[in-house]
Amino acid sequence: MNLQLQTKNPHLKGTWQVTGSKSEANRLLILQALFPQVEIENLSNSDDSKVLQKALASLEEVIDIHHAGTAMRFLTAYFSIQEGRKTILTGSKRMQERPIKLLVDALKSLDAKIEYLNKEGYPPLAITGTKLTKHHVSLAANVSSQYISALMLIAPSLENGLEIQLNGEITSTPYILMTLSMLKTLGVEASFENNLIKIQPLQLHQKKKFVVESDWSSASYFYSLVALSNSAKIKINSYQKDSLQGDSSLVEFYKSLGVKTTFLENSIQLEKEASVQLPKTYRANLVSSPDLAQTIAVSCLGLGIGCELSGLHTLKIKETDRLVALHDEMTKLGAQVEVTNDSLKLYPCRNLKENSLIATYNDHRMAMAFAPLALKTTLTIEDAQVVSKSFPDFWEAMQHFHIQCKKV
Ligand SMILES: O=C(O)C1=C[C@@H](OP(=O)(O)O)[C@@H](O)[C@H](O)C1
Ligand SMILES: C=C(OP(=O)(O)O)C(=O)O
């Protein structure tokens, strides 16, 4: 389904209820499978959470998690400790190109039984669940924090707990801290100091309820809408100031792009501050917030300013190579863009081309990041249904804020 987007850039107002964070939800689903006393409220309705829920309820040998990176990584660890159970864990064509060797090596060093069914280092995996008793593992921390969270999530179920030594630079740190915080809330004794994570085993006896906060990565598209509008005052629910999600750094990132955030009770209000003097070149290091890169780059494009984004090395192994995808699609709109393996430079672009067809490469964030540009030009988003990976009612939200979406 291709959607042609256009609008007259009116005053944006209204309220939207954003679904629960898929990162929080997917951690809690794994914890609930290991500790049935866990109760979850405001679960995400994203495809990635649904696919994980289904996988955890399935008794089939073959489990297909489609495009869901966290489900792939977390389930690799989870099925490794399901004693006596054989599982073939697979995913979409792209998932079979997303590396998993560091996690598999770490689990194997703990005596897990995992084999590659196709290409060494990539899904699909054949896993035979076994009891893991070793309690020290080390792995490189600069490729994906999801490998580390996967190990952390099974750690309290291991007889001897787990010590995880992180080597090298750590990427996407807030996601590791999110996992740590959730374990602590569950009652696990856990620490993370000097690149060493220590997690004690847990026996849980009483119920524990978690309320999932709405998704801050999804909030980024509203920030971009407000930044690109002439005037806006909108509200999105359900958000708190003390978030577990690193992408709540949006509040700071968008200040200099003219978006003011006010925390209300259980929601945030976003207002356009037209008086803010925009920088000529916006600079940010996104090593802690990789999922914001596309939104921020496209906001800068729409605002007609340049940007220099660094810390982007993980973008190459996400739903698509996001650096190449951003380069190619922003270029279609008339921008001059340079990318390296870990950075993106956009030069100020005064005139956006009209009627471009934006390819999305099975990547929800390509579709969602480009949508707010409708406030500046008409454009068509290819395969617009990809948004359901994290934000199934995204297009309803856009229409609520006066972006006309026409099937073409
Ligand atoms: O743990 C998580 O929930 C996530 C971690 C990040 O991945 P990397 O650690 O691979 O950067 C992020 O990009 C992804 O969307 C969700
Ligand atoms: C990278 C993402 O997801 P995952 O790695 O879980 O597929 C994302 O949602 O942007």
- This complex has an ipTM of 0.99
pLDDT tens digits, one per residue of 308-321? 999 999 999 999 99
Give me 346's structure tokens: 């956009």
- Most informative mutation of 47, 145, 291 for ligand 1 (most atoms within 8 A of CB): 145
- pLDDT, average across residues 81-86: 98
- pLDDT, average across residues 243-252: 98
Is residue 8's pLDDT more than 90?
A: no
Between CA 35 and CA 168 the distance in angstroms is 32
Between CA 212 and CA 18 the distance in angstroms is 11
Structural contact between residues 364 and 371, judged by C-beta atoms closer than 8 angstroms: no
Residue minimizing CA distance to atom 10 of ligand 1: 144
Residue 314 near ligand 1, beta carbon < 6 Å: yes
Residue 144 near ligand 1, beta carbon < 6 Å: yes
- pLDDT, average across residues 93-100: 98
291 is in an annotated binding site: yes
Q: Give the model's confidence band at 127: pLDDT under 50 very low, under 70 low, under 90 confident, else very high.
A: very high
Which residues are paired to 140 by β-bridges?
Answer: 167
For the residues of 312-333, what is the DSSP string, one character each? -GGGGGSSS-HHHHHHHHHHHT
Give me the chain's average pLDDT, please: 98
Number of the ligand closest to the Cα of 177: 1
Structural contact between residues 206 and 187, judged by C-beta atoms closer than 8 angstroms: no
* pLDDT for the residue numbered 10: 83
| Residue 22 CA, closest ligand 2 atom number | 9
Q: Give the model's confidence band at 163: pLDDT under 50 very low, under 70 low, under 90 confident, else very high.
A: very high
* pLDDT for the residue numbered 401: 96
Domains 3-20+213-407 and 22-211 equal at CATH topology level = yes
For the residues of 27-82, what is the DSSP string, one character each? HHHHHHHH-TTEEEES---SHHHHHHHHHHH---SEEE-TT-HHHHHHHHHHHHTS
172 is in an annotated binding site: yes
pLDDT tens digits, one per residue of 194-210? 999 999 999 999 999 99
Percent of the chain at pLDDT > 70 equals: 100
Q: Could you list the active site residues? A: 291
- pLDDT, average across residues 172-179: 98
Name the helix (H) or strand (E) containing 140. Answer: strand 136-140
- Most informative mutation of 144, 177, 182 for ligand 1 (most atoms within 8 A of CB): 144
Is residue 116's pLDDT more than 80?
A: yes
Is residue 328's pLDDT more than 80?
A: yes
What's the CATH number for 3-20+213-407? Answer: 3.65.10.10
Residue 146 near ligand 1, beta carbon < 6 Å: yes
CA–centroid distance, 355 to ligand 2, in Å, is 29
* pLDDT for the residue numbered 143: 98
Report field, pTM of the whole predicted structure over 0.95: yes
- Most informative mutation of 70, 169, 248, 363 for ligand 1 (most atoms within 8 A of CB): 70
Collapsed DSSP state (helix, strand, coil) of residue 307 = strand
Task: Give the start-to-end residue ranges of the domains of the chain.
Answer: 3-20+213-407, 22-211
* pLDDT for the residue numbered 9: 75
* pLDDT for the residue numbered 405: 97
Ligand 2 cavity residues, CB under 6 Å: 67-70, 291, 318-319, 365, 390
Strands of the sheet with 86-90, listed across from one edge: 62-64, 86-90, 125-128, 113-116
pLDDT tens digits, one per residue of 135-148? 999 999 999 999 99
CA–centroid distance, 190 to ligand 1, in Å, is 21
Between CA 76 and CA 78 the distance in angstroms is 6
What's the CATH number for 22-211? Answer: 3.65.10.10
For the residues of 144-155, what is the DSSP string, one character each? -HHHHHHHHHHG
Q: Give the model's confidence band at 117: pLDDT under 50 very low, under 70 low, under 90 confident, else very high.
A: very high
Residue 49 near ligand 1, beta carbon < 6 Å: no
* pLDDT for the residue numbered 329: 98
